[in-house]
Chains A and B, each alone.
Chain A
């Protein structure tokens, strides 16, 4: 069951343009997520910092055991402001072409522990 949720999380993270990191590159901005959501590949980050949005590359550390099935279940654990992030910032405003790196990071990687 746990593995199925993890697989789904990774699949949906990739659909959202995100990646799984084997190691954290040195010059990337690092933060940690408290929660992952399998149905959409989003992670919940409560350290709401400028660099999370200004950096070109962001690495987010996530505990494999902190992934829940969907947003409704995620809400059971959320009790403060913060942000759900699903992949890199993106836009399709130029003639419907999907481009990663609109205003925020161009690459977002999840480092699973």
Chain B
């Protein structure tokens, strides 16, 4: 099913509640950034830092690897998802790991690491409460910061076989269950929000403390991270830590912002993953590499709020997902750039100023450049004869057929009456 059908289904079931919950977060965000008078200056600086990063990515990666090794951290480079998963498996096999605790990482989702490890008989426990909820439900996260935003407390009670639906009770229950897993895991895997090039540090931000438990309890901690997460220095880190949580959930900062260097009681390994990122540098969509995954564009999007993350079918949904998904599979996700009203709200909230409106229009061209109907339409715009011919065909087609075949949107909207007179003679 494509976005439109899945969106209609979701909206009927859960749309209003979902919309309301996300709009409340957007309002919290607005309040948080009003508390920072220099917010627009921070955005400009953040955008400039990220422009610098994508123009100097290769050099920054080399600098990061050198400094991380000096710090006492092992670093691997994986060119794609397959290579990443194989490195992880090799590292886990070396210590004969049977169970790993994983903290939120969109990159491991991008690489389908869970499925790969399960196939190789390694038990993967997602530890972020929201991610654990969706894992137990056999689903994928529907939002990159609020993975279980599409579920209710009754849904959570059900997967735990509980009749009590009190959120504090359910949270405590999950805490107790997962604490046992943390204490008996052979390794921890997490993502990273930032990599500091001139220090070789990886920085992870969470509210729950799960990444920290996963990093400190087992003897092995693997950090899987996309290469675009590199920033030049600690000063830049300060800037991004001011912005990330405020823009994501309206908190002034996440509960934990951990700067990881060498691991005291074991081994820490960082796997830098390309998986198409270097290639994207040479496309019109290179600015998507500026993204810090704050999720504000999802939360604010009027289409996302009403259609839910799963309607996008890609691991990163919402406006940023509509740019990333077609780059992975142009045909499968050719509907996503159209799941958009071009209202520009995503662009207004983006902390690194990704030009969403321009990029989404460009993506519409990219996914339709082989579409025969679009080609015909384009041709007809360049020739008066063709234009007249097509306009005649359209005029002669009965309205119900026109509505049904030419425009999915008209399922819920009436096509305006076609004027008797043409403006072209």
Contact = CB atoms under 8 A, between A and B. Distances in A.
Chains A and B belong together in one complex: yes
A91 B256 contact: no
A102 B259 contact: no
B24 A96 contact: yes
Contacts of A4: none
Interface stretch (A21-29, A59-67, A75-83): A75-83
Given A74-B238, A81-B262, A40 B212 contact: no
B216 A48 contact: yes
Interface in B304-333: none
Among A73, A102, A104, the one with the most B-chain Cβ atoms within 10 Å of its Cβ is A102
Contacts, number: 153
Contacts of B130: 91, 93
A57 interface: no
Nearest to B132: A93
B156 A71 contact: no
A95 B209 contact: no
B168 A16 contact: no
A83 B257 CA distance: 6
Interface size band for A:
35 or more
Given A93-B129, A99-B167, A104-B208, A86 B253 contact: yes
Interface of A (DSSP majority class)? loop
Highest count of chain A CB atoms <10 Å: which of B167, B209, B237: B209
A83 B133 CA distance: 27
Interface in B104-149: 127-130, 133, 146-149
Contact of A90 (B36, B252, B255): B255
A50 B217 CA distance: 7
A59 B384 CA distance: 78
B4 interface: no
Contact of A84 (B25, B241, B262): B241
A103 B178 contact: yes
A39 B217 contact: no
A81 B239 contact: no
Contact of B210 (A85, A86, A87, A103): A103
A87 B175 CA distance: 18
**Contact size range, B:** 35 or more
B264 interface: yes
Contacts of B175: 101-103
A102 B264 contact: no
B67 interface: no
A70 interface: yes
B254 interface: yes
Contacts of A50: 216-217
Contacts of A74: 238
A80 B264 CA distance: 13
Interface string A33-45: 0000101111000
A48 B175 CA distance: 21
B91 interface: no
A78 to B, nearest CB: 6
B235 interface: yes
13 contacts: A37-B253, A53-B209, A71-B238, A75-B234, A80-B259, A81-B262, A83-B256, A87-B255, A91-B207, A94-B129, A94-B133, A104-B208, A104-B213
Q: Which 9 pairs, one residue from A and one from B, show the smallest C-beta to C-beta distance? A: A104-B209, A40-B252, A102-B208, A93-B130, A97-B167, A81-B261, A75-B238, A89-B209, A40-B253
Interface of B: 21, 24-25, 36, 127-130, 133, 146-149, 151-153, 156, 167-168, 170-172, 175, 178-179, 182, 201, 207-210, 212-213, 216-217, 234-235, 237-239, 241-242, 249, 251-262, 264
